[in-house]
């Protein structure tokens, strides 16, 4: 009787699910948005967003690259790490220079924003702006901004549209189709922009 054949089948059956689980956690989900400014028909840059699932939670990253005649080259990179579905830390940089960092410390968050350190008395942040690109925020009332280091109100407008209320009365509107963000209308200091999913 050849015992090697059943042993090989058992090993194959045992290893296949492990392979699929490990690759599922390692492969980030990635989306690219073209950035349009004003009525310009040509994109002025891109926003690349990625979400990687891990055994501990998820990691969101956003990378925007903009070049136009009206503005200097802009590069912004944001990363957020969630453990057990709670924000553990996030960092936002512009051209490699730190804008904002947020780190969980017990039942608070330590925030460094524009060089100033403060604490946020929040038990656990569960939804951030980076999540808006991957998940329609049904039933979500507030979203944490990684760049502003504060919670923002989000409102359902109906028909899979959501308004994120920003400081100074500005707002961004997120459009969804089948649970995926397809477009964002952005109110920028220099005017209106649109992020359109490729």
pLDDT tens-digit profile of 33-90?
999 998 888 999 999 999 999 899 999 999 999 987 766 788 999 999 999 999 999 9
- DSSP H/E element including 26: helix 4-26
Contact (CB, 8 A) for 197 and 183: yes
Answer yes or no: is 173 within a domain. yes
Mean pLDDT across the stretch 183-190?
A: 86
Answer yes or no: is 161 within a domain. yes
Answer yes or no: is 112 within a domain. yes
- CA–CA dist 140, 129 (Å, integer): 12
Answer yes or no: is 5 within a domain. no
Write out the two tokens for 164.
């994120």
Query: What's the structural domain count of the chain?
Result: 1
Q: What is the mean pLDDT of the chain?
A: 87
Answer yes or no: is 1 within a domain. no
Answer yes or no: is 11 within a domain. no
Domain that holds residue 136: 26-197
Give the phi and the psi of residue 132 in degrees, each rounded to 5. Answer: -60, -25
Write out the two tokens for 172.
């961004």
């Amino acid at each position: 009787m050849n015992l090697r054949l059943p042993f090989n089948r058992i090993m194959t059956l045992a290893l296949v699910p492990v392979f699929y689980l490990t690759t599922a956690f390692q492969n980030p989900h990635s989306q690219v948005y073209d950035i349009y400014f004003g009525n310009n028909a040509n994109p002025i840059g891109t926003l690349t967003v990625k979400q990687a699932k891990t055994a501990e939670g998820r990691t969101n990253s956003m990378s925007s690259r903009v070049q136009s005649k009206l503005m200097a080259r802009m590069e912004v990179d944001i990363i957020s790490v969630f453990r057990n579905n709670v924000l553990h830390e996030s960092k936002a940089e512009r051209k490699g220079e730190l804008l904002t960092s947020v780190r969980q410390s017990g039942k608070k968050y330590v925030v460094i924003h524009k060089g100033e350190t403060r604490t946020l008395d929040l038990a656990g942040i569960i939804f951030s702006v980076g999540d808006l690109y991957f998940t329609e925020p049904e039933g979500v009332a507030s979203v944490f901004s990684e760049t502003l280091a504060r919670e923002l109100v989000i409102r359902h407008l109906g028909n899979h549209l959501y308004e994120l209320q920003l400081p100074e009365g500005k707002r961004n509107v997120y459009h969804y189709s089948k649970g995926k963000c397809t477009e964002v209308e952005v109110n920028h200091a220099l005017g209106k922009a649109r992020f359109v999913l490729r």
